[in-house]
Amino acid sequence: MHPMLNIAVKAARRAGNLIHRAADNLDHLTVTKKSHADYVSEVDRAAERIIIETLLEAYPGHAILAEESGTQGQSEYVWIIDPLDGTTNFLHGMPQYAVSIGLQHNGVLTQAVVYDPTKNDLFTATRGRGAFLNDKRLRVSKRKEMADSLIGTGFPYSNFAHIDAYMAIFRDLMQKTAGLRRPGAASLDLAWTAAGRYDGFFETGLKPWDMAAGCLLITEAGGMVSDLKGADAFLQSGHVCAGNPFIHPQLLEIIAPHLTPGLKA
Ligand code: IPD
Ligand code: CA
Ligand code: CA
């Protein structure tokens, strides 16, 4: 395993264990509302601290971009961290959340970990070396027809700027696919696309920490990731479309007529 991936795995497991222990005591958690339907708990913050501590202990010169504490340091290496992706699920006792850690080197994603502590599922990837679930090599699905495909998504829940376009896309997909799912943790949605569980995935308004690790998992599993018009700028815009090489272009085609100027950015 690449030494930087190894450290990321150590950090993700530490945070995952902390989250797992806290899941038994949800009634006693301090929870704060960041904005409409956007919550943060002391567990998110403690998990983030343990991740940053572990990474910086090994690589003190590296920079950090983390959901709860923002940016720290400047380096050609930037760790992009979501300490607890799926906080709403976590707070409701729904077992669908993960720790997500990605590493960018000179702006290119090179290492990825998504760890689901509820199932002890560890998704990892290193650029050029493939993606894995525990020690099993991952490949995206082989499904070719939209009508046979299972598509993952995330509903807009706090920022409703694109809700009309989103609903129009949703309406089309509902009629053209085998099914749509919204489990509630984007990093796992992307990891599950890499694992071939979904044939495609799309969401609007994500943040880099929701996506960084999951997107590398998909490309390393032979899949495609883009923004909603098929370009590369998804980490910047937060609008993402992913899938196996057959379904990804078909998903873009269904989305295209509904793109408003904001979603084309
Ligand atoms: C959220 C989850 C959710 C997605 C949201 C994210 P959080 O992350 O990934 O699936 O739909 O857009 O913000 O806030 O639980 O870390
Ligand atoms: Ca998140
Ligand atoms: Ca989070």
Ligand 1, residues 33, 206, 237, 239: which to mutate, most atoms within 8 A of Cβ?
206
Query: Which domain CATH number covers 251?
Result: 3.40.190.80
pTM: 0.96
Domain that holds residue 61: 3-137
Q: From the CA of 96, how far away is ligand 1's center (Å)?
A: 11
Q: Give per-residue pLDDT as tens, 80-116.
A: 999 999 999 999 999 999 999 999 999 999 999 999 9
Among the candidates 69, 103, 137, a domain finishes at 137
Looking at the fold, whether 80 and 20 belong to one and the same domain comes out as: yes
Q: What's the confidence (pLDDT) of residue 41? A: 82
Supply 114's token pair: 């998504």
* CA-to-CA dists, residue 215 to 14, 28, 54, 88, 210, angstroms: 23, 34, 23, 22, 9
**Residues 176-200 pLDDT 10s:** 999 999 999 999 999 999 999 999 9
Atom 2 of ligand 1: nearest residue by CA position: 185
Residue nearest to atom 12 of ligand 1 (CA): 206
Task: Give CA–CA dist 55/64, Å, rounded.
Answer: 9
Residues with CB under 6 Å of ligand 1 are 82, 85-88, 154, 184-186, 203, 206, 210
In a shared domain, residues 131 and 163: no
Q: Whose CA is nearest to atom 16 of ligand 1?
A: 85
Cα separation of 211 and 241, whole Å?
11
Crossing angle of helices 42-58 and 3-22, rounded to 10°: 160
Taking residues 132-146, what's their average pLDDT? 98
Q: Is it the case that residue 170 has pLDDT exceeding 90?
A: yes
Q: Among 36, 38, 68, 85, which residue has the most ligand 1 atoms within 8 Å of its CB, making it the best to mutate?
A: 85
User: By three-state DSSP, how is residue 64 classified?
Assistant: strand
Mean pLDDT of 53-60: 98
Do 93 and 174 reside in the same domain of the chain?
no
pLDDT digits (tens, 9 = 90+) for 200-238: 999 999 999 999 999 999 999 999 999 999 999 999 999
Pairing of strands 150-153, 200-203: parallel
Same domain, 39 and 90: yes
Residue 265 binned pLDDT confidence (cut-offs 50, 70, 90): low
Q: What is the CATH number of the domain that holds 84?
A: 3.30.540.10
- Closest Cα partner for 229 from 252, 261, 260, 202? 252
As for how many domains the chain has, the answer is 2
Whether 35 and 15 share a structural domain: yes
Which ligand is in closest contact with the Cα of 91? 1
Cα distance between residue 74 and residue 61, in whole Å: 8
Rg (C-alpha) for the chain, rounded Å, is: 17
Last residue of a domain, one of 85, 107, 137: 137
**Other beta carbons less than 10 A from residue 181's beta carbon:** 15
Structural domain ending residue among the three candidates 137, 171, 205: 137
Find the 145 Cα to ligand 2 centroid distance in Å: 30
